[in-house]
Structure 1
Amino acid sequence: MATIQSLVKQKENKNTKNSTELVLKTWKEGSENRQNVPKLHIMDVGELNYFLSCFVIECRRIDGTDYTTDTLYQICAGLFRHMMSKGVCDKNVLDTNDHKFDGFRKCLDARMKDLSSRGISTKKKLSDPIDQEDEEKLWKTG
């Protein structure tokens, strides 16, 4: 059993681990402003819905600016990864088929829509289309 755990730990993606640790730090900093917040992995369904909803509404960067919509969602995914690392696999707050967390997901959705309406969403980088002349050059030069 120990060899399985060591193999899994050894092959864990370092970027994912660092991201999860940073997300957890963000969660802890946000939780310090509230009284009696239980540890994330021991919360019941009602507590998760409430505290996660408060978190996504209040969550900001250190400089006070809002996170983009994608970043906010990734923070929530990182919190779920943390819970899974603690053995909590039955509380996937992002699973749309799990109606126990509809309250939190509606709050996250509303927050993301608010951010988008204010232009605080991830900007998609689009390339300029290739015009006919450039395409012909490409075909000729191979």
Structure 2
Amino acid sequence: MEPAADASFRLKFTYGVNAWRHWVVAKNAQIEDSKTSNSFRVRTFPTDILKCTTDELNYSLIFFIKEVRKPNGEEYSPDSIYYLCLGIQQYLYENGRIDSIFTDSYFDKFADNLHEILKNLQPKVNAQGQMLCRIEEEHLWESKQLGAHSPFVLLNTLIYFHTKHFILKTAQEHMSLSFAQILKHWKKGVPMKGQANSSKNISLRFYCLANGKKEGLAARKNREGVPVYEITENFENPLRCPVKLYEFFLSKCPESIKNRNDIFYPVPERSCVPDSPVWYSTQSIGHHTMDKMLTRVLLVREIQESHLHAQPIYL
């Protein structure tokens, strides 16, 4: 027996592709049946997802997430529907399609409909205190929803890291961020894993007030007992290092927004390409866009576990 195409991945994308195929076959049969009793022509869906045009993919995904069922006819849970969609996204990438179904503007209607399905899902914990969630962080890396693959994916990565490490739980908390609130910190005399000869370790620090409100270092740096959330470097995998990705993000932002206190997540420039010196505009993404991105992030098991056990450090 040949190994499955997704055998080396944590995200088993064949689940999403097979669910899609079963749904398309049933949907097309339903459409064909309706043609016999109606005079108007109803278009069927392409059975090969790789042959769908962008419009066809957006249109059919909307129906798919609303109508897909398990083989036994039961409904999928919202996080399982998201898992199937992540699998479809990875399958598209693995086969040379560059469509980003979660971020491209062509798929806004699909993303809006997915958001309606996901937004009311609440975290579940079993009797042993373990989080019950279908989505894992590795799934996002494998499906290229985290990293620096595009301006929007890079924004999503920052939202992910800030949600996980700074315990930002709402769209409003994220929208209130500014560049002045996240600053580098160098630890001297601390050997870095994988770099025995180095004596500096860089982290990103986020300073908070005791009542839970967030504030930048400039206003709090001289006071003791300030709770601080911290992101440290990832030396084992630089491509997933939050510090390096943050530095790369800064390098792609226009200088004019780095001193403002009313923006942190700028809108990607439509005309930019990977080699463009600037990826972002001077305008902030909208609250609805943030809400959609954050809703998907909050479904990840590692995010939920981080929020359950988070403890700030105190200076």
Fold agreement, TM-score > 0.5: yes
| Aligned equivalent of 2:68 | 59
* Structure with bigger gyration radius: 2
| Aligned equivalent of 2:27 | 34
Distance verdict in 2 for CA 1:63–1:40, change over 3 Å: same
| Aligned equivalent of 1:124 | 125
Q: CA deviation at 1:109?
A: 1.3
Distance verdict in 2 for CA 1:88–1:21, change over 3 Å: same
| Aligned equivalent of 2:112 | 106
| Aligned equivalent of 1:9 | none
Q: CA deviation at 1:13?
A: 6.2
Distance verdict in 2 for CA 1:62–1:88, change over 3 Å: same
CA distance, structure 1, for counterparts of residue 108 and residue 119 of structure 2: 16
- 1:99-125 deviations in Å (ceiling 9; x for gaps): 1111001111122347x3xxxx66234
Percent of residue pairs bearing the same amino acid type:
22
Letter in 2 for 1:87: G
CA distance, structure 2, for counterparts of residue 78 and residue 102 of structure 1: 19
CA distance, structure 1, for counterparts of residue 66 and residue 92 of structure 2: 20
CA distance, structure 2, for counterparts of residue 32 and residue 122 of structure 1: 33
Asked if 1:77 corresponds to 2:86, the answer is yes
- 1:2-51 deviations in Å (ceiling 9; x for gaps): xxxxxxxxxx8625388112221111100002233222112122111110
Distance verdict in 2 for CA 1:122–1:58, change over 3 Å: farther
Preserved CA contact (<8 Å) 1:69 1:112: yes
Letter in 2 for 1:75: L
CA distance, structure 2, for counterparts of residue 28 and residue 17 of structure 1: 21
Runs of 4+ in 1 over 4 A off after TM superposition: none
Q: Which structure has more RCO (C-alpha within 8 Å, separation ≥ 6)? A: 1
Normalised to the residue count of structure 1, the TM-score between the two structures is 0.65
CA distance, structure 1, for counterparts of residue 9 and residue 123 of structure 2: 20
Q: CA deviation at 1:55?
A: 0.3
Any unmatched runs of 5+ in structure 2? 29-43, 130-315
Preserved CA contact (<8 Å) 1:70 1:122: no
RMSD of aligned alpha carbons: 2.6
CA distance, structure 2, for counterparts of residue 26 and residue 13 of structure 1: 15
- 1:50-91 deviations in Å (ceiling 9; x for gaps): 1000000001112222212221111001001111121101x1
Asked if 1:14 corresponds to 2:22, the answer is no
Secondary structure in structure 1 of the residue aligned to 2:26: coil
Normalised to the residue count of structure 2, the TM-score between the two structures is 0.31
